[in-house]
Structure 1
Amino acid sequence: MRAREKVIPLKVAAEKCRNLRDQGLRVVFTNGCFDLLHIGHLRYLEEARALGDYLVVAVNSDASVRCIKGPHRPVVDEKARSELVAGLHCVDCVVLFDAPDPLAVIQTLNPHVLVKGADWPVDRIVGADWVMRRGGSVVRIPVLKGYSTSGLIEKILGQVSSSSTRF
């Protein structure tokens, strides 16, 4: 299967999740911008996938990223970001979402496990209370120190501004 074939509409993902739950399999959900994919993203998603049988990743649309991160983001467009995330071995499917937060996606997919980075306190994780009320769990995965998209952007800009070499 090609990575781009794992980027599917929410309605299709919801049906897939229903079928998996009916089979007694655990659905894991996480979301993020995934702009400038890096090793921190990979390790986070591998840990998330290890928590169940099927990992759904919701990727913020370009408009959603701009709303959250500001007018100069994302660096990579939504189509490319979604396909790159889908290409990771640990990701079973990707859905794009256009809202400022993924609550509607979480409610539609009804995952067993909701995953976010440990930099998020549980009381600030969108959808945590909803998942837990339905018997699911919320897992916070430690963030790999030294790896963040913002940090990469700052490093690149710093190297470009301090260098007379052209790329």
Structure 2
Amino acid sequence: MRVITFGTFDMFHIGHLQILERARALGSHLTVGVSSDNLNWQKKQRKPICPEHDRMRILQALRCVDEVFLEQSLELKGEYIQQYNADILVMGDDWEGRFDEYKTLCDVLYLPRTPSISTTQLIEVVRSHDPR
């Protein structure tokens, strides 16, 4: 079974690793679409802290990830699923129901996110830290 997932993966943390490991355990091959800097701007109105090429390199270095590509558009998810021959699409449960339209192309699973950690929270902690 081939698994595909998507995300920004900015300021890589344990929650990212855990969802990738759980996604990989569902099949024999894990492909990860990394949101481009421009796509992240469209979704969140902010650029990622880490540029897209660095985020891709981090993911490519992980044992649980077999293949990485740059996701340019949310509207192309169906094409990405077909291009990478995915049998399962895995997303975090904060996206529950959002990608059900792809159930005609593959199984769609929403996995629970790791509690008490998010990139947004990490960014806020770093920004508010006063080194004095």
Note if 1:151 corresponds to 2:121.
yes
Structural RMSD (CA): 1.4
If each structure's strand is expressed as a fraction of its own residues, which one has the higher value?
A: 2
The offset of 1:118, in angstroms, is: 1.2
Note if 1:31 corresponds to 2:1.
no
* Letter in structure 1 aligned against 2:122: L
* Partner deviation per Cα, 1:40-99 (whole Å, 9 max, x = no partner): 00000000000000000000111111111213x211001000010111110011011211
1:114 to 89, 109, 115: 89
For residue 119 of structure 1, give the secondary structure of its aligned residue in structure 2.
Answer: helix
Q: Decide which structure has the larger Cα Rg and report it.
A: 1
Per the alignment, residue 93 of structure 1 pairs with: 67
Q: Are 1:67 and 1:100, in contact at CA under 8 Å, matched by a contact in 2? A: no
Per the alignment, residue 19 of structure 1 pairs with: none
TM (normalized to structure 2)?
Answer: 0.91
The offset of 1:33, in angstroms, is: 0.6
Please give the residue correspondences for 1:16-165 in structure 2 after superposition, counting only pairs within 5 Å.
Answer: 26-71=1-46, 73-101=47-75, 102-122=77-97, 124-125=98-99, 128-130=100-102, 132-134=103-105, 136-159=106-129, 163-165=130-132
Q: Are 1:40 and 1:148, in contact at CA under 8 Å, matched by a contact in 2? A: yes
Moved over 4 A (4+): none
Q: Are 1:28 and 1:55, in contact at CA under 8 Å, matched by a contact in 2? A: yes
Ranges in structure 1 where 5+ consecutive residues have no aligned partner: 1-25
Percent sequence identity over aligned pairs:
37
| Matched residue count | 131
Report the Cα distance in structure 2 between the residues aligned to 1:112 and 1:100, rounded to whole angstroms.
19
For residue 144 of structure 1, give the secondary structure of its aligned residue in structure 2.
Answer: coil
Report the Cα distance in structure 1 between the residues aligned to 2:60 and 2:94, rounded to whole angstroms.
24
Q: Are 1:86 and 1:94, in contact at CA under 8 Å, matched by a contact in 2? A: yes
Ranges in structure 2 where 5+ consecutive residues have no aligned partner: none
